[in-house]
Amino acid sequence: MTGSSRSATISRHAHRRARGFTLTELAMVLLIVGLLLGSLMYTLSAQVDTRGFADTERRLDEARELLLAFAVVNGRLPCPAVDTDVPPSSTESPAGGVCTATYNGFLPAATIGFKQTDSQGFALDGWGKRIRYAVSRTTAPANPGFFTSAALLKAGWTATIPADLDICKRVTAAAAASCPSAADRLVTTQTVVAVIWSPGKNFPNAGASLNEGSNLDTAAAFVSRRPSPPGAVDGEFDDQVTWITVGELYGRLISAAKLP
């Protein structure tokens, strides 16, 4: 091959390289980049969800301990806060006695000293949603303000148990105010004195499923179970729930010499 023909061949090869990728090659590159970005976004989303779930669990545990600490100091549990005060306040409503809220109040952040709050002082979970709180209102013997009154609790604790709050694996349309059966109950009846929960990442869309709706209504049944996605048999669920038992409350009060 002469020098001139070799130079011409090299020039043609360089010209083809200079033209860049073909459409097929470009499409393949875009496909690979898209798959890599999709995988990265999925990983980041999963990490955010895991962090939000863990942070919420930590905050619920902190709220639970602050409620028990309040009981040790004051000889009673606080009432839930409500968001209907003018201006809105995260203090208990009222300070002792029969509580204003039924079973869908808010954690009284200002009253117990919970620090992670919104601009109005209400306690926030790991998703930036307000933490909810309910305290037993119906007792045996009946007195709706018993567990939020230091005088009543001290005088009658040996004969008084909570008789309303239920922690369920699920509820049904026919039995939305209590656990459908003993097999659906996570905690023995007449055991739970307070419930603290997060409505989850999907709030305010929470409540579309029956089980999530049970945690937002005014009934005394609360659902705690594994998370499930939209379209699951029992519906979407991402609430996180914890509770305080009457034995634990009385034990803390006895240890602190608030009882007997």
pLDDT digits (tens, 9 = 90+) for 32-56: 777 777 666 666 666 778 899 999 9
pLDDT the model gives residue 42: 60
- Give the phi and the psi of residue 106 in degrees, each rounded to 5: -115, 155
Q: Flag whether pLDDT at 232 surpasses 90.
A: no
Residue 208: band (very low, low, confident or very high) from pLDDT cuts 50, 70, 90: low
Mean pLDDT, residues 211-231: 92
Instruction: List, in sequence order, every residue forming a beta bridge with 196; answer none if it has no partner.
Output: 133, 242
Q: Flag whether pLDDT at 234 surpasses 90.
A: no
CB 103 within 8 A of CB 220: yes
pLDDT the model gives residue 5: 56
CB 206 within 8 A of CB 195: no
Residue 6: band (very low, low, confident or very high) from pLDDT cuts 50, 70, 90: low
pLDDT the model gives residue 231: 84
Q: Measured between alpha carbons, how far is residue 132 from residues 37, 78, 124, 145 in Å? A: 37, 13, 9, 19
Residue 25: band (very low, low, confident or very high) from pLDDT cuts 50, 70, 90: confident
- R_g over Cα of the chain: 28
One-letter amino acid for residue 111 of the chain = T
pLDDT digits (tens, 9 = 90+) for 70-116: 999 999 999 999 998 778 899 999 998 899 998 989 999 999 999 99
Three-class secondary structure assignment of 139-161: EECCCCCHHHCHHHHHHHHHHCE
Instruction: List, in sequence order, every residue forming a beta bridge with 185; answer none if it has no partner.
Output: 168
pLDDT digits (tens, 9 = 90+) for 119-152: 999 999 999 999 999 999 988 888 999 999 999 9
pLDDT the model gives residue 92: 97
- Return the minimum-mean-pLDDT range out of 12-21, 115-124, 181-190: 12-21
Q: What is the mean pLDDT of the chain?
A: 88
DSSP string, 190-254: S-EEEEEEE--TTTTSTTSSHHHHHTTSSSSEEE----B-TT-TT--B--EEEEEEHHHHHHHHH
Q: Measured between alpha carbons, how far is residue 247 from residues 109, 172, 174 in Å? A: 24, 29, 31
CB 218 within 8 A of CB 104: yes
pTM of the model: 0.82
pLDDT the model gives residue 206: 54
